[in-house]
Amino acid sequence: MTIASMTEALPVLLSDIEELVTCESPSQDLAAVARSAEVVARLGARRLGAEPERIVLDGRTHLRWRFGAGPTRVLLLGHHDTVWPLGSLATHPFSVDGGVLRGPGCFDMKAGLAMIFHAVAALPSRDGVTILVNGDEELGSPSSRSLIETEAAGCAAALVLEASAPGGALKTERKGVSLYRVRVTGRAAHAGLEPERGVNATIELARQVLAVAALADPDQGTTVTPTLMSSGTTTNTVPALGEFAIDVRVRTVAEQTRIHTALERKGTFLSFSDVEGALPNQAGVEVLGGPNRPPLDGASSAGLYTRAQKLAAELRLPPLTCAAVGGASDGNFTAGVGTPTLDGLGAVGGGAHADDEHVLIDALPGRTALLTALIADLLAGGRAA
């Protein structure tokens, strides 16, 4: 595929993106995800001339296209779920204006899905290509993780069509993610009549938050962020129950292990009873959760990034750039099983998960042509180093 031919096909590509964006697909809504899967399947079948397998896991619909009788060499990875609730199109309608495409989920990552179909359709041969589109990425891919890892194992490369980093940069490093919840059990009492008879879950939560936050190591790029918190039932009752969530981001497996070990006690999740000032033998503290995604380190992407740079130059595209980002994707899973992985190959734009989510239209032809060239190069060559 040349950039010129992709530019000619741009109106069709934009129409395909509109078809995807205007089918809302919030991750938490199983019916909406199922409807979206059918739209993705219909569009993919139209461009590729082949129906996908529909894989339903825990009520969530994932799609897979496999081409050729031999093993998969190149895995193309995307997701069709979004963070946008039903009704978002009423406040954030699909639009194309002034070279900018807008709409909920357009950047993250429905434009990337349309790019996959157009790029694969332009290949001289598709043998050895697998496309996997899951429906729960925004939740951490709880049902599709095993599927992704199985498909990626042994491939020459996994190419992830998540949106680019700022300026169109490819994502060559991603932090690993761990997710936890800290639950505190106290004892209720009347806050005015006899508060001394209660065990205040809110006070213990506050102590736990400070202890957890202290596990961060900015020098290592490790963030440990207490997030959503809830406690108590009424304003005049000593809180008996409470909990908060923890979002952990790490650059290395060693740091992910360190944090997990700090939260773990003898193979079970117990209390921080050794925290200074904690309520001794009174408030029960339970820590639930663990690592969600391993880090995607630069070594996993280096060979593929070098190939992409060379191909971009041959296509006379602007020089590629790369970025390390804090957000995770399903590329973390493919890198975690040892498959060379290059992420951020999707749309150029910005505003993921935000009111200003958008795609820059002028970048779509070159970006899609680069994807086609990279797939063809990998199919013709060896395993990416």
- Active site (catalytic) residues: 81, 137
Q: Number of helices (H) and strands (E), helices first, in the chain?
A: 11, 16
For the chain, the distance separating the N- and C-terminal CA atoms, rounded to the nearest angstrom, is 25
Amino acid at 22: T
> Measuring CA to CA, how many Å separate 220 from each of 71, 215, 256, 297?
39, 11, 11, 14
> Measuring CA to CA, how many Å separate 201 from each of 79, 196, 270, 350?
39, 13, 16, 41
The answer to whether 204 and 212 have CB atoms below 8 angstroms apart is no
- Which single residue is written with the structure tokens 């001339």? 49
The answer to whether 181 and 287 have CB atoms below 8 angstroms apart is yes
Sequence-distant (≥ 6) Cβ neighbours of residue 218 within 8 angstroms:
none
Residue-by-residue DSSP string for 264-329: -BTTB----TTSTT--TTTSEEEEEEEEEE--B-HHHHHHHHHHHHHHHHHTTPPPP-EEEES---
Cα-Cα-Cα-Cα dihedral of 298, 302, 306, 311, to 10°?
A: -80
The answer to whether 187 and 217 have CB atoms below 8 angstroms apart is no
Tokens of 348: 């150029």
The answer to whether 54 and 37 have CB atoms below 8 angstroms apart is yes
